[in-house]
Structure 1
Amino acid sequence: MANRALIMIEGASNGRLFVKASRRLNINPIILSSDPGQYEYISAEKGEAIRVDTNDLDALIRECSRLRATYDIAGITSPWEWFYATAGKLCRHFDLPGPNPSSIERCCDKFVQRQLLAEAGVPIPAYRVAANATDIESAVAQIGLPAIVKPAVGSGSSGVRLCRNVDELAEHASYLLGGKHPWRSRPRILVEEFAQGPYYSVEIMGGEIIGISAGDFCPPPHFVFRGYTYPAWLCNEERQRIADVCLSCLRALGLGWGPMNVEIRWTRLGPVVIEVNPRLAGTPIPQLVHAADGVDLITEHIKLVIGEECDLRRMHSHTAIARLLVPDRDGILDWIEGASRAAAEPGVVEVNLLAEPKTLIVRRGDYRDCLGYVIAASRGVAETEAILQRAVGFIDWSIVPRPAIGE
């Protein structure tokens, strides 16, 4: 019998975890990418990568057909939201388990998502869509300030900003419409009411609520995560209200297969849906769930992809907390140290530094600002927080000014 293979369309931040999980299931991971060189972990994990235009569905079909001559293709997926609908189309073409690509595409368009949720009576912030600066000003006049201004299609908080006054609004509108933001589709902007309150991330697999984490951010105006705690400290009534809202989202959007992630703000009116993501949450949430509950979301996702039954039973009940390492200035990362001492601290699950010395640091106000993260886990919140504080205290770095041109 031919070797079994898992086809991954592009790699994203969780790609290394998909490669490792696939190998644990005795399946050969093959990454199809327009630029395999962007994923340094491929060579480190001795993975196989093939260069192909991943924006060309016909090219992907031809490549997968070619691979079927050598491999038994067990499943096709993508850890990256941009290509998850494409993976769904490939699954349908090759008669493999996968998500409904139409539902994924509707969900990834945040304006369409908002419309569908509103029609179903799901609590969401007030919103307007805009295509130019005049539209943005008109939308803000209706919604009021402060307001969230963000691309209608995007992920990882890229291009998302809290605008607290007209000057910030004009500045961000100029950024989004002036050619600096990397649009992957025609420019459309959402202007939304700023839903204020604690932030929660809800992890779902096939319609089953796995758990809820609490997140906190660096200071505004951007939404760069500083840390997560899993599970979130909620009473039974709060947990049930969040679960009910999330399941209403899935029905409204036609989702129900595989992983989903719903972002919630608990406002004075209760849970309000900020966004529904038709995929696994990014790093470090899967690692937190694994450390706290023993549930490996990535492995269980792959099981669904290859047509096997997933196992979401909790193996234990711990508290896991992640602290993201976020710089406070731009420049050149002169040095970063202390990771090995932090990793040696009892109770530390993972220390991952994402930037190396001499890297240019340019803060963008999104997920790319993170220099790394530390995860700790134990049986209690206070104990885990103490472990994390000790571990993070070992890590330090220096960012020096970028030399002027000509120096």
Structure 2
Amino acid sequence: MARRALILIEGHPRGNGLLYVQAAQRLGLHPITLSADPAQYDYIAAERVEAIRVDTNNLDFLIHECSRLGEIYDIAGITCALEKFCATAAKLCQYFDLPGPEPASIEQCCDKFTQRKLLAEAGIPIPAYCLATNATEVESSAAHIGLPVVLKPAVGSGSRGVRLCGNIDELAEHTTYLLGGKHIWRSPPRILVEEFAQGPHYCIDIMGNEVIGISALDFCRPPHFVYRELAYPAVLTDDEHNRVADVSLSCLRALGLGWGPTNVELRWTKRGPVVIEVNPRLPGSPAPQLVQLASGVDLITEHVKLVIGDEWNLRRSKSQTAAARFLVADRDGILDWIGGDSRAAAVPGVAEVNLYVQPKTPIVRNGDVQDCLGHVIAASPTRARTKAMLQQAVDLIDWSIPPFPAGKG
């Protein structure tokens, strides 16, 4: 009998890639990663994961490779850890008649402008928005909405290219950044100009049509949206929880989602919950670890079960508080050293310390997820205790980033 295999389209160098590999192995599957550059994922070599080099932007090449693998293995399912390849994975599932989401729903959700239109048509509260393709349209859109506004690429993730602009100079500066060649576009440049919804930020994790958890997300100082801390569960009244859950589930209906995982981000404003964006995938690490520590639900394992046609189990078996603090670079330069992680990991209640970078790594901050050097996770029965343990661990970690040599920054 052929060995059952799980095909992973690309991986994730800092996030869920290794977790998907480990979940597949626990379920008795043979994980195979198809990647344009398998070497970018350190865990591929460390865990001796089978990886095949293929152009993952070419659907025909992927179909050919999966067909070839199907002659060797029993392909149980196909999925991915990166939003960029969610629609591709869905198309492959459809082609090979495997369990998966509707590709068209995934594609329209990954386009933030199309997503905005569909949410607005469904009456779901969202920020005021306009689409712009050049500097003149950005300026007129901002004038129409009123400053401050948020500029963001219509397609993308990880807060890449996202900035809060409070005045005309900041607006012009970031427009130049986005359109002047510094930002890498995966498609023709389109900028979403939107109202800045002010209020606490929440992330809602959904599997199928069931809300699994709601977390509170804090960012570092504006104007960028760099993660600082994520905590499960968020402190909400019963009414607030129900309203957040109801709005989040309404997003699924508006976007034709509901198969597998969805992550909704919203802010609680003066007019209640306002949806910032909907992601047709699991949140990135460390969110899945926090959900598991807090509730006992292993989002990644249960997603893999769904992908291979097995029955999942979303029953909660714990009731704890879990939180993660992100270690954020404070300057540009060459990372000289980073340490204290072993002492931090030894703090009672600390579940994970993960450093993303090694010494001699160039650090260039762009105001996005790549500014993070690592994270620390702690969990306990109470919120206050978790926060105290987390702070104690973070205080033990330090690093040095001398500036780039003159002329090389």
- Tell me which of 138, 141, 147 is aligned to 1:139: 141
What residue number does 1:102 align with?
104
- Find the aligned partners of 2:97 and 2:334 in 1 and give their Cα distance: 49
- Find the aligned partners of 1:129 and 1:164 in 2 and give their Cα distance: 18
Deviation digits for residues 203-257 of structure 1, max 9, x if unmatched? 0000110010001000000000101110001110000000110111000000010
**Does 1:19 find its partner at 2:39?**
no
**Does 1:274 find its partner at 2:271?**
no
User: RMSD across aligned C-alpha pairs, in angstroms?
Assistant: 0.9
- Find the aligned partners of 2:260 and 2:126 in 1 and give their Cα distance: 24
Structure 2 alignment gaps of length 5 or more: none
Counting only pairs closer than 5 Å after superposition, residues 97-246 of structure 1 correspond to structure 2 as: 97-246=99-248
What residue number does 1:77 align with?
79
Return the offset for 1:404: 2.1
What residue number does 2:350 align with?
348
> Secondary structure of 1:128's match?
strand
> Secondary structure of 1:148's match?
strand
Structure 1 alignment gaps of length 5 or more: none
TM-score of the superposed pair, with normalisation by structure 2: 0.99
- Find the aligned partners of 1:301 and 1:159 in 2 and give their Cα distance: 29
- Find the aligned partners of 1:223 and 1:405 in 2 and give their Cα distance: 28
- Find the aligned partners of 1:406 and 1:45 in 2 and give their Cα distance: 35
Return the offset for 1:391: 0.8
- Find the aligned partners of 1:65 and 1:285 in 2 and give their Cα distance: 34
What residue number does 1:8 align with?
8
What residue number does 1:293 align with?
295
Deviation digits for residues 13-52 of structure 1, max 9, x if unmatched? 2101100111011101000011111111101111010001
- Find the aligned partners of 1:284 and 1:26 in 2 and give their Cα distance: 24
Whichever residue aligns with residue 293 of structure 2, its letter is: A
What residue number does 1:60 align with?
62
- Find the aligned partners of 1:6 and 1:205 in 2 and give their Cα distance: 20
What residue number does 2:398 align with?
396
Whichever residue aligns with residue 69 of structure 1, its letter is: E
- Find the aligned partners of 2:236 and 2:310 in 1 and give their Cα distance: 33
> Secondary structure of 1:186's match?
coil
What residue number does 2:50 align with?
48
Whichever residue aligns with residue 227 of structure 1, its letter is: E
- Find the aligned partners of 1:22 and 1:45 in 2 and give their Cα distance: 13
The percentage of counterpart residues that share the same residue type is: 70
TM-score of the superposed pair, with normalisation by structure 1: 0.99
What residue number does 2:252 align with?
250
Whichever residue aligns with residue 29 of structure 1, its letter is: P
What residue number does 2:41 align with?
39
What residue number does 1:262 align with?
264
- Find the aligned partners of 1:93 and 1:140 in 2 and give their Cα distance: 43
What residue number does 1:377 align with?
379
Quick one: structure 1 residues 406 and 333, their matched pair in 2 at CA, closer, same or farther if it must change by over 3 Å? closer
- Find the aligned partners of 1:52 and 1:19 in 2 and give their Cα distance: 19
> Secondary structure of 1:168's match?
helix
- Find the aligned partners of 2:202 and 2:402 in 1 and give their Cα distance: 35
Contact 2:293 2:318 in 1 (8 A): no
> Secondary structure of 1:371's match?
strand
**Does 1:387 find its partner at 2:389?**
yes
Whichever residue aligns with residue 201 of structure 1, its letter is: C
> Secondary structure of 2:115's match?
helix
> Secondary structure of 1:316's match?
coil
Return the offset for 1:402: 1.0
> Secondary structure of 1:351's match?
strand
- Find the aligned partners of 1:155 and 1:313 in 2 and give their Cα distance: 30
> Secondary structure of 2:242's match?
helix
- Find the aligned partners of 2:342 and 2:91 in 1 and give their Cα distance: 43
- Find the aligned partners of 1:277 and 1:70 in 2 and give their Cα distance: 34
Counting only pairs closer than 5 Å after superposition, residues 287-326 of structure 1 correspond to structure 2 as: 287-326=289-328
> Secondary structure of 1:303's match?
helix
> Secondary structure of 1:183's match?
coil
- Find the aligned partners of 1:167 and 1:93 in 2 and give their Cα distance: 49
Whichever residue aligns with residue 289 of structure 1, its letter is: V
Whichever residue aligns with residue 62 of structure 2, its letter is: L
Return the offset for 1:405: 4.1
Quick one: structure 1 residues 123 and 406, their matched pair in 2 at CA, closer, same or farther if it must change by over 3 Å? closer
Return the offset for 1:403: 1.3
Whichever residue aligns with residue 248 of structure 1, its letter is: S
- Find the aligned partners of 1:289 and 1:317 in 2 and give their Cα distance: 10
- Find the aligned partners of 1:401 and 1:211 in 2 and give their Cα distance: 41
